[in-house]
Structures are given as structure tokens and as C-alpha cells.
A and B are shown apart, each in its own frame.
Chain A
């Protein structure tokens, strides 16, 4: 790399960092945290809180539940899930496999560390809902129960919202065994 180019990149990086710090700070909400904090979808004595839970609508076959998992005490492991929408649910992750995004069951479940929220999102970890008993339409609610290592459970409600984001096209994988 030429010294001129290197110097340019360094200056650009410095400028960008300064801009970030200058714009980042005021973006903090002025209102009290209570009014801006997401209302928890679930709270429990199990040490796990689930917020912002939602589910992708689907007419049949498969879909997925997403949300934010926060461990309020020590680390928590979600070992299985059940929903009101189908008799069959799995905990999945998405991995790169030969250049393609592939879903597969998450070995050992979702391990939630208290240091960082664990995001379930399109293109990442999610709760796979299979063999839908009836269509999930936008605005429908699905009850979800997590079973934790140690036997505790956490219940929450996921709201159905439409998206084409992180398109894993669950319906196309209807033959998948998980």
C-alpha cells in the first residue's frame, strides 16, 4: 500500500470515528428510560426475559419465531420450545455451508449469557415452527413456551408481522427434517 493511500485511509477512519461520537451521543433518548424501554413480552423468575417477540405469517408448512432473549441472572440455556401454532418446534441456527445459508438444529440449544442479549432474527438463530396446524395471519398472536435447562419454563406471546427480510423461504424447505 502506498504511503499516501495509507495516510488517507487513516485520516478517513479518524474523521469517521469522530463523526460517530459526535452524532452518537445526542441520539440517546431524552425521555426517561421507562417510557422508551420495550415492554417485556415476558418476565419470569426463571432468569430469562423475552422481549420484542414476533412470528412470520405463513399459510401452511413452516415459519419462525424471533425475539430478544435476556438473561437476568446467570447464563440460561433454552433447550426446547413449544407453540400454540403447531405440534412441532425446533431451535435453529443459520450457518454458511458451501456459500449458501443453511438452517440446522442448534446443538445444545440457545445459550443466553447475561453479558449480551441473544437475538433471534431472520438469518440467525430462530425458533422453527413446523407442520402449522392453521395459517398464521398478520396480526395473529402465537403463544410460545421455552423450556430451560433445569426444567423451568418461560411463556410469551409473539405477534405476527410480515417481512421478506432475511428470506429463508421456510415454505420451500417443507421436506426438511430439521
Chain B
């Protein structure tokens, strides 16, 4: 043992005996002073801007969606007070600072790309006296034949979506945001989701869902394509620069899926599990060729394969799928209770989510293993400038 190492061990022992921190002993070895290395936790995503963050932001590893209901009798003044507080909190938390009245700066100090995104449900439009202006598709989605919706996971007047690569600042942000909201609103539901840990695969890799599939391959490419699909370009000022969110809680029958043959799993989606590539050949970002046949003239991709039904058939059907897995299991009987929080952002849900979901409800091999059990729809208002308020154009 070198003298230096021996000294470190000795000091380490003393530090432990004195109730000190073992990690400190290692740093006692001679050498240059520690260099400030940027840590991922310090990374921030700007809250202010033309659009709200948390949508085209590359998906963070963790998300929580909380729907609030305005307390009975709430009017425009109450909604304005609520949004003023939440906007102020969100601007501070996303930059690594505590809310105005909080005194623990350590808790939000490493936001890990924390974003806070707000969405307005039909009830908020009613409360501010503008119920007639809520887009009809968001007031009530069509009923789909395969829906098994539970009110417990459905609806809501105000969505608070919090995402971060670290569940610690996420938890703090949610608790402070809800604390600010509770004098004006109650909590209707909270749904937590997760994706792969940050850095587990190279940035930009399509994440896998709990069925093992690469999920989101068809998403519009970042840039003009994504912006066109997601942001509202025309219409009232409170919507322009915003988006529409359809959030569906999708239960997966993972027990039977796990036992389903691998080739069958490929056929159900028409893409391979390992690479995400079409069963008809090519790479992950190539399209499935529905006309390709095998040696006996039988189509290689079956007609009811998920991807063939879900693929956008015109540009208006493009949407950003920014889903998060959930796992609330296992049940007492040892069965999984898990699935996907399917979050679809689009400029017009009537022309994107609705026609796509109608096709899937009509026919999708995957319907054997997936069931929509929750549904909530929100207008995502545009972003705001420093000193502004989310929803200021609607409340103005």
C-alpha cells in the first residue's frame, strides 16, 4: 500500500468514527483542486417562449400528468389567480429556483431538464365564460368501439404536466405546483410515467415501451416537420402557437403478450422488436410496404398490423407521440398492471388523433393486448414571455 493510500484509509476511518462523510476521505489525497464539471442535473429547459416547453422538448425520462378541477363557483378571476401562481412557480422551478414563498433552494437546484406544461380542459373554458370557444373535438372525443374508459383516469379542467430526467426535482415541482393550486382547484387524477433512463441509449434513439417495441418511430422529425404537426398556426390568439393534447391511458395485457411468439409479435405491428425495422425490410425509419408478398404470393405485412392502421394517411394526421410507460403492478394475484400513457400532441385533434384512432378501433391486431382505459383532452395554450402568464390571451 502506498503512503498516500494508507493515509487516506486512516483518515477515512477517523472520519467515520467522528460521524463524518466517508466520501470526503477520498478527496484528501493530494492533487489539483476539484474542477467544476457540468452535471446533467444542472441542465435547464427555458420555460418562456412562443410555445410551451415539454412538447417538442426531447422526452425526459420521467413524467407526471395531474388533472385539476376548479372548485365549484370558480370564475375568471379565480382562474387568473391560479394561472398567475402556477406560471410564476413553473418559471422558477424550471430554472432551478424555488417558488417565491419556499425556503429550500436545494430541492429544485438540479432540475435535470425539468419542464412544466399546462393544458386547458373544457371546464376551464366554461369557468372563464368562453365555453362556446372550446374546440368541439376536445369537449367530447367521439366514442371508440374499443374504449373501456374509467372516469378515474379521464377528464379534467386544468392539466399540469411535469417532466424531468430526475424524479427528485419532478416530485418537488409537482408538490409545490399543487400546493399553489389547491385554494382554487382540487386534484382529479395523477398519472406517473417513465421512459428509459437518460443516457441508457444514444440521444435521439426511439424509446421502447413495456411490450419491447420501439415506440414513436413515426414521429415527425424535429424541425419544420414537427412544428407543422404540433403547433396551431391559425385561429384565435389564445390558441395560436399552442397545440392540442389527447392523453389516453392504455392498459397492456403484458402477461399474454409475454407468452405470444416472437414472430407473432413482429406481425402484430409489422415491425421487428430488435431494430424497429419493417417486416418487409429496410431500417427503422423506412415504411412498411403493404404490397410486398412472399414466395406464395401472400402479403408479408398483414392488413390489421398496427403500423399499417396507425400510419398517417395525410399530413394533417401527423402527430407527436410522446408517451410514457406506467407500472402500477403487480396485483395481489401477481399479474402486471401496466401500460402506456399515450400523449399525442397535434395542431388539430379532429384531423389527427380522431381519424387514426377510428381506424385502430375498427381493426388493429394489437387490440388483443391493449385497451384504452382513460381519456383526457386539453388545449395547450401558447407559451408566454417573462412576466407574462400562461393563458393570458384567453383571460384577457
Q: Which residues in A have some Cβ–Cβ distance to B below 8 Å?
A: 7-9, 11-12, 14-16, 18-19, 21-22, 25-31, 35-36, 38-39, 52, 54, 56, 121, 137-141, 159, 161-163, 165
CA distance A27 to B36 in the complex (A): 9
Residue pair B37, A15 in contact (C-beta under 8 Å): no
Within 8 Å CB of A30, what residues of B? 38-39, 42-44
**Sample of 28 A–B contacts (CB below 8 Å):** A8-B14, A11-B15, A15-B28, A18-B27, A19-B24, A22-B23, A22-B34, A25-B34, A25-B35, A25-B36, A26-B37, A26-B39, A26-B41, A29-B42, A30-B39, A31-B42, A31-B46, A35-B95, A36-B44, A36-B95, A39-B91, A56-B101, A121-B103, A138-B180, A139-B180, A161-B85, A161-B100, A162-B183
Residue pair B38, A26 in contact (C-beta under 8 Å): yes
Ranked 5 nearest A-B pairs via Cβ = A139-B81, A15-B24, A8-B18, A25-B36, A12-B20
CA distance A69 to B242 in the complex (A): 36
CA distance A163 to B11 in the complex (A): 44
**B169 located at the interface, meaning its Cβ lies under 8 Å from any Cβ of chain A in the complex:** no
Known: A15-B24, A15-B25, A36-B96. A162 touches B42 (CB 8 A): no
CB within 8 A of B42: which of A7, A26, A137?
A26
Consensus secondary structure, chain B interface: loop
CA distance A12 to B39 in the complex (A): 26
Within 8 Å CB of B92, what residues of A? 38
List the A residue with the shortest CB-CB distance to B42.
Answer: A30
Residue pair B34, A27 in contact (C-beta under 8 Å): no
* Count of chain B residues with a beta carbon within 8 Å of a chain A beta carbon: 49
**B321 located at the interface, meaning its Cβ lies under 8 Å from any Cβ of chain A in the complex:** no
Within 8 Å CB of A38, what residues of B? 92, 97
List the A residue with the shortest CB-CB distance to B27.
Answer: A18
Chain B's nearest CB lies how many Å from the CB of A61? 19
CB within 8 A of B84: which of A25, A27, A29, A139?
A139
Chain B's nearest CB lies how many Å from the CB of A166? 8
Residue pair A11, B20 in contact (C-beta under 8 Å): yes
Within 8 Å CB of A31, what residues of B? 42-44, 46, 95
Residue pair A161, B101 in contact (C-beta under 8 Å): yes
Within 8 Å CB of B80, what residues of A? 139
**B145 located at the interface, meaning its Cβ lies under 8 Å from any Cβ of chain A in the complex:** no
Within 8 Å CB of B310, what residues of A? none
CA distance A162 to B180 in the complex (A): 7
> Which chain B residues numbered 40 to 73 have a C-beta less than 8 Å away from chain A?
41-44, 46
Within 8 Å CB of B39, what residues of A? 26-27, 30
List the A residue with the shortest CB-CB distance to B46.
Answer: A35
Within 8 Å CB of B24, what residues of A? 14-16, 18-19
Chain B's nearest CB lies how many Å from the CB of A70? 16
Chain A's nearest CB lies how many Å from the CB of B127? 14
**B88 located at the interface, meaning its Cβ lies under 8 Å from any Cβ of chain A in the complex:** yes
**B17 located at the interface, meaning its Cβ lies under 8 Å from any Cβ of chain A in the complex:** yes
Within 8 Å CB of B84, what residues of A? 139, 141, 159
List the A residue with the shortest CB-CB distance to B43.
Answer: A30
CA distance A15 to B8 in the complex (A): 11
CA distance A92 to B9 in the complex (A): 53
CA distance A162 to B44 in the complex (A): 26
Chain A's nearest CB lies how many Å from the CB of B348? 32
Residue pair A22, B27 in contact (C-beta under 8 Å): yes
CB within 8 A of B82: which of A27, A56, A121, A139?
A139
Residue pair A54, B27 in contact (C-beta under 8 Å): no
Residue pair B15, A165 in contact (C-beta under 8 Å): no
Known: A39-B387, A161-B85. A12 touches B18 (CB 8 A): yes
Known: A25-B34, A26-B38. A15 touches B44 (CB 8 A): no
Within 8 Å CB of B34, what residues of A? 21-22, 25
Residue pair B101, A137 in contact (C-beta under 8 Å): no
Residue pair A15, B20 in contact (C-beta under 8 Å): yes
List the B residue with the shortest CB-CB distance to A163.
Answer: B101
**B110 located at the interface, meaning its Cβ lies under 8 Å from any Cβ of chain A in the complex:** yes
List the B residue with the shortest CB-CB distance to A21.
Answer: B34
List the A residue with the shortest CB-CB distance to B11.
Answer: A11
List the B residue with the shortest CB-CB distance to A5.
Answer: B18
Chain B's nearest CB lies how many Å from the CB of A122? 8
**B393 located at the interface, meaning its Cβ lies under 8 Å from any Cβ of chain A in the complex:** no
Residue pair B85, A139 in contact (C-beta under 8 Å): yes
Within 8 Å CB of B33, what residues of A? 21
Within 8 Å CB of A138, what residues of B? 81, 85, 180, 183-184
CA distance A44 to B9 in the complex (A): 57
CA distance A141 to B35 in the complex (A): 44
**B19 located at the interface, meaning its Cβ lies under 8 Å from any Cβ of chain A in the complex:** yes
